[in-house]
Amino acid sequence: MRLKIWLSLFLVLLLAVGCSVNEENKANEPKKEETTAKEEQTNEPKQNKELTERVKEEKGILNGQVYTQNGMAVGTLVLDKKVSDADAKKLAEKYAKEIKEEYKDMKVNVQAVRGGKNVANITLE
């Protein structure tokens, strides 16, 4: 009977010590909620409204967007099916250069899509 009591007390003490050590470790760790919120803010795309409007007004482009995300400037062009591959590449190069002028210190990527297929992909370092 005494063995059971001592064993029970030992287990209770062991659990108490284990829980207190775990709480100390949690206090030293950064809160996951705060870290996640900060990461989401930096990963969130920020649209360049002026360049986006210029892209949308371009003949042969049905829709598009210019934005920055993760330290990179990105342009997307959704092309009319009548736009040739050569013209798609010219449009992508044109906007890659314009975006690079605006974001000199960032890597630039412009993709042109026609009919759900990527027809041009320009990257400037």
Helix (H/G/I), strand (E/B), else coil: 40: helix
Question: How sure is the predictor about 12, in pLDDT bands with cuts at 50, 70 and 90?
Answer: low
Residue 7 has pLDDT above 70, yes or no: no
Q: How far apart are CA 10 and CA 69, in angstroms?
A: 55
CATH number at residue 91: 3.30.70.2960
- Most confidently modeled of 20-29, 41-50, 109-118? 109-118
**31, 62: one domain:** no
**96, 75: one domain:** yes
The contacts found for 47-56 with CB under 8 angstroms, 24 or more apart, are: 48/73, 48/99, 48/102, 51/75, 51/95, 51/98, 51/99, 51/102, 54/98, 55/95
**29, 71: one domain:** no
Quickly count: other Cβ atoms within 10 Å of residue 3's Cβ. Answer: 7
Structurally, the chain folds into a number of domains equal to 2
Distance, first Cα to last Cα, the chain? 77
Query: What range does the domain containing 112 cover?
Result: 46-124
pLDDT digits (tens, 9 = 90+) for 27-84: 555 555 554 444 444 578 899 999 999 999 999 999 999 999 999 999 999 999 999 9
**36, 82: one domain:** no
Quickly count: other Cβ atoms within 10 Å of residue 4's Cβ. Answer: 8
> Can you say how many angstroms the Cα of residue 89 is from the centroid of all Cα atoms in its chain?
25
% the chain with pLDDT above 90:
61
pTM (global) more than 0.75: no
Instruction: Give all strands of the β-sheet with 117-124 in edge-to-edge order.
Output: 46-47, 61-69, 72-79, 107-114, 117-124
